[in-house]
Amino acid sequence: MSNFDIYKWNRERHLIEARLNEEKSKHDLYLDMFIQELEGFDGGAADYLKSHRNLMIRNMMSIDFNSLSKPSLEEGEGTTLNLSQDDMDKLHKDGKLELDGHKILYKVNEEISDYEMVVYKVEGITADTDEGGPDEPFEMEVKLEASLSADEVKDAIRDAARKEQGKLYKLDYKKA
């Protein structure tokens, strides 16, 4: 840690505590992101982060992220497919081709077609902004790619509902 400057660190810390710095630091932005994600969950995690904001920021500032080990990426073995001219013509005409157990899709500035999409019916209740309890029920439909995992579907539906409805109290979904 030969590059660590205690005077700079203390100055930053005091500015953050006094809220005198004009721009939010990257640590503030990270913490804001976590707080926003935790807003709709029970348990008070977002409130805890808000009440201990200065401590959390100081702790984040003391971490030397450059010294942390970076995970290595391992790429899987690739597959080479040989396409004949007839295969290419069929792919361009139909937009899809199945060859040797591989599904090949072709699209040019288009949305993914309906056969690759799944529609979910979403029902939920918005959160009361003043009290945090239930407010108004709502229904909506969300169209997602069929290839998404269960966790990705849950996240995408939650994000779409938050974008359209705001804070959420309860959320249920099923395929339409």
Q: Are 61 and 53 in contact (CB under 8 A)?
A: no
Per-residue tokens: 126: 């918005």
Domain 114-175: state its class.
alpha beta
Q: Quick: pLDDT tens for 58-117.
A: 888 888 777 777 776 666 677 777 888 998 888 888 888 888 777 888 776 555 554 578
Give backbone dihedrals phi and psi of 103, rounded to 5 degrees, phi first: -95, 125
Mean pLDDT, rounded, for 21-30: 72
Is residue 18 very low, low, confident or very high in pLDDT (cuts 50, 70, 90)?
A: low
Q: Quick: pLDDT tens for 120-136.
A: 999 888 887 777 667 78
**Apex CA 71: angle with CA 69 and CA 74, to 5°?**
150
Q: Domain residue spans in the chain?
A: 6-65, 81-110, 114-175
pLDDT of residue 121: 92
Q: Are 127 and 168 in contact (CB under 8 A)?
A: yes
Rounded CA separation 94/103 (Å) = 12
pLDDT of residue 132: 66
Which of 13, 6, 141, 85 has the alpha carbon at shortest distance from 93? Answer: 85
Which of 142, 137, 146, 130 has the alpha carbon at shortest distance from 171? Answer: 137
> Which residues lie across from 44 on neighbouring strands?
none
